[in-house]
Structure 1
């Protein structure tokens, strides 16, 4: 392959679990977020390609990063992001962290424990939210809450796709010590239906992911941008619902994704809840002033 774009899976922003630069995001910020998404999508498709050898994946990821940093002009999505970063005086560090995560995906297929998985999320997930915060000019004080939410979103995806990742790529993100503690085996991921031991392991990991969402509970309310605050609040609610599903459904044999109607209802209820909170807050301020 001449370029990373040749490995495209055809997936786009609409195929993701969670909103990407939705209508809630201010129009002036959407190009920067979409440029980042397109770059990351390109790198992800390389790392997840079913037939490319690891050496070729690493070569293409190196080439993609080099284009981002201005060392070549071979990768269109990298050139587009490079231009946006220069225009808005943003760092390429977050995108480079993601490239590092995809290089791990190209060469590593197992994680021994929860700490190892979170270490992967530090490269594969947390930089995404940090970049969006930077685009909006938000404080780095928000990074710990952002990191908890982004790690949760990443692990939700791992739990949803645990069987597909194993079957297609022989990649297992479930911590091996959790599998052993539950009495499950990696090969259980290839079954048509999860064994009781695997179900116990998945439910336990969903509960740990729920704790991460608890750490991010106040995140949205501390964001200055009203639009981004609403987007994050909705994403948090969507993630909370998915974790609830993963605690009692079997991702090997049952649907653990939200359809359009469910997503709409959660979005609408979150917006209504925030509107009511804002109205109560305004009324409280009026009482304090009278």
Structure 2
């Protein structure tokens, strides 16, 4: 395989857990976000490709980076994002951070503890929200609450897909320390149904993820762009619902996802709530510096 584009699985923004530049986002901001998404999706498909050897994956990720930085024109997604970044005076920093995360996916299959997982999320998840904030010209003072939300979204994905990640890629994002404390064997992740020990472990991690969402509570309410604020509010609400499911459901044998109808209902509920109560007075005393 001589290009990262050839590794694409066909998965798109509509297949993601959470909205990607939905109709809530202003039209002028959607193209740079989608260019970023296409680049990241391409890199993600390379890192997760079941037939490529690690050296091949790393070579294709290097090729994407070269295209992003203007040293190579073989990758359409990289060339497109490079052009968008130049047109909008945006830095490639966030895309480079994500490439670091995808290289880590190729070379690291286990995480010892929660702190190690948070370090991974600082490259794999937090830059996504930071880029969207940059596109909208929002303050970097929002980065800490963005980071809490993005890390929570990443961990939710890890918990949902823990069985599939292990069986397909021998990749475990569930911290090994938490598994040991709960009495979980690695082989438990390969079963058709979670053991009681694994259920306890995953439920405990869902609780910790809920705390991240608590930390992210002020995020949507402090975004100046009203449409982005709504989008983040919807994402936060969906994440809270998924965490509640993960506290009690078995992701190895049960569906732990929000259906389209429920997601649409969540969007309407957020829109109605903002209309009735306003944007900022729902989080008194938690205004962030600008």
Shorter chain as normaliser: what TM range? over 0.9
- TM-score scaled by structure 1? 0.96
Q: Which runs of 5+ in 2 are unaligned?
A: 282-290
CA distance in 1 between partners of 2:185 and 2:127 (Å): 32
Aligned match of 2:30 = 30
How many pairs align? 281
SS at match of 2:86: helix
**Structure with the higher helix share, 1 or 2:** 1
2:205 pairs with 1:199: no
CA distance in 2 between partners of 1:192 and 1:266 (Å): 31
The structural deviation recorded for 1:278 is 2.1
Aligned match of 1:287 = none
2:281 pairs with 1:268: no
CA distance in 2 between partners of 1:161 and 1:279 (Å): 34
Aligned match of 1:63 = 63
- TM-score scaled by structure 2? 0.96
Larger Rg: 1
The structural deviation recorded for 1:159 is 0.2
**Residues 56-95 of structure 1 aligned to structure 2 (within 5 Å):** 56-95=56-95
CA distance in 1 between partners of 2:10 and 2:187 (Å): 29
Aligned match of 1:110 = 110
Aligned match of 1:231 = 231
Aligned match of 1:249 = 249
CA distance in 1 between partners of 2:278 and 2:64 (Å): 44
Deviation track 1:47-99 (CA, whole Å, cap 9, x = no partner) reads 00011010000000000000000001010000000000000000000000000
Structure 1 pair 35–248 and aligned structure 2 pair: CA distance change class (3 A): same
Aligned match of 1:7 = 7
Deviation track 1:12-37 (CA, whole Å, cap 9, x = no partner) reads 00000000000000000000000000
Structure 1 pair 143–76 and aligned structure 2 pair: CA distance change class (3 A): same
CA distance in 2 between partners of 1:206 and 1:27 (Å): 35
CA distance in 1 between partners of 2:16 and 2:186 (Å): 26
CA distance in 1 between partners of 2:178 and 2:154 (Å): 17
Aligned match of 1:286 = none
Q: Which runs of 5+ in 1 are unaligned?
A: 282-290
CA distance in 1 between partners of 2:52 and 2:170 (Å): 14
Deviation track 1:181-208 (CA, whole Å, cap 9, x = no partner) reads 0000111000110000000000000000
CA distance in 2 between partners of 1:36 and 1:152 (Å): 20
The structural deviation recorded for 1:254 is 0.5
Deviation track 1:211-236 (CA, whole Å, cap 9, x = no partner) reads 00000001000000000000000000
Aligned match of 1:159 = 159
CA distance in 2 between partners of 1:280 and 1:48 (Å): 40
CA distance in 2 between partners of 1:279 and 1:94 (Å): 28
Aligned match of 2:54 = 54
Aligned-pair Cα RMSD in Å: 1.0
2:18 pairs with 1:18: yes
The structural deviation recorded for 1:259 is 0.6
The structural deviation recorded for 1:270 is 1.0
